[in-house]
Amino acid sequence: MIESLLEKIESGTAVVGVVGLGYVGLPLVREFTRAGMHVMGFDVDEKKVKALMAGRSYIEHIPAQVVKDMVRSKRFAATTDFRKLSKPDCILICVPTPLTKQREPDMSYVEATAGSVAATLRKGQLVVLESTTYPGTTREVMLPILASAGLKVGRDFFLAYSPEREDPGNKSYSTKTIPKVVGGCDKHSLAAAVALYEVAIDQVVPVSSAAAAEACKILENTYRSVNIALVNELKVLFDRMGIDVWEVIRAAATKPFGFHPFYPGPGLGGHCIPIDPFYLAWKARQYDMSTRFIELAGEINVAMPRFVIDKVTEALNDRGKAVKGSRILVLGLAYKKDVDDMRESPSLELIELLQKKGAKVSYNDPHIPR
């Protein structure tokens, strides 16, 4: 089975299926079609599928012309019919992995997608999970569902994990140029996944296991979360001390070694960074370990919108005004500059908190239409 799959990949005749046509999946579709592969896109959102097949894009950094070219080339087609998952030779899963209200991992999208794949799984297929998640997900969640089809991993089908590293709006790095970490459930699965990504990505980085690849992404995002929490806490402290934290960071950044600048903000946004540390903390509890440092960083970042509200209230009070009835304009709605992605954006919480206090809130963001 592995020889046949590798031959298809290397000859460019393998069909790639991408499940989830959002900020992760659609850029992958673009790169594999650019590489000459035939790609099938799957999504439960009929509006997205219809838009793509009509040559329209709903993601700002993927122009409509790119979508039109993919469709006209006959190398790409999108569908909501998951029964067609038997057709691709390689299936890449790019579905959300949010938190529950209890801030625990919500695996429902991954489990549902794995179930859909299992329903049509055939011999020789490669399945790769790209969704950010805790170490162990591929083996503990994906594998049992797929194996229920009666096939054996590493012999009949192949299973791997490769964390998405998308950074929307980044003009220096793209899907193609960001190194791709890959870990497999066995040596054949790893070989198939590496061969597939080498078709479309400049550098592929194999690791020893799927769990190592999962842990890699969690480390990357936890690293950012705890460092942002550090400067957020210093922002609050220095504010009380009458010190400009931005001036301090700029000065510290002149040190040519041992320091990397991070910057404070009204909270964390995007799909990964606000969520991943909680995934890791949840998993750590299964090993009787409390990740106190990581969890505290998450709590600090979560509290930042209320610090902003306190500063707004203070500024209005200084001018003899109350928040209630005040007209407040929020500049920027996305989670970072120059993108149209509002996922987990702290601006949404800021608006909600201000409205609860009776403020009349409006916003302006050139990337997000009203």
Local confidence band at 271 (pLDDT 50, 70, 90 cut-offs)? low
pTM for the full predicted model? 0.91
Exposure string of 211-224, with b = 16+ CB inside 10 Å and e = fewer, is bebbbbbbebbbeb
Structure-block tokens of residue 290: 């409390």
pLDDT higher than 80, residue 246: yes
Per annotation, catalytic residue among 94, 185, 216, 272: 272
Q: For the ranges 2-6, 146-150, 184-188, 328-332, which has the lowest average pLDDT? A: 328-332
Q: Left if phi > 0, otherwise alpha if psi is -120 to 50, otherwise beta: which for 95?
A: beta
Question: Whose CA is closest to 266, among 312, 304, 228?
Answer: 304
Structural domains of the chain, ranges and CATH numbers in brackets: 2-208 (3.40.50.720), 217-364 (3.40.50.720)
pLDDT greater at residue 337 or residue 100: 100
Q: By CB neighbour count within 10 A (0-12 exposed, 13-18 middle, 19+ buried), where does 143 fall?
A: middle
Higher pLDDT, 278 or 135: 135
Asked if 216 is an active-site residue, the reply is no
To which residue do tokens 């469709």 refer? 71
CA nearest to 95, candidates 65, 68, 132: 132
Percent of the chain scoring above 90 in pLDDT: 84
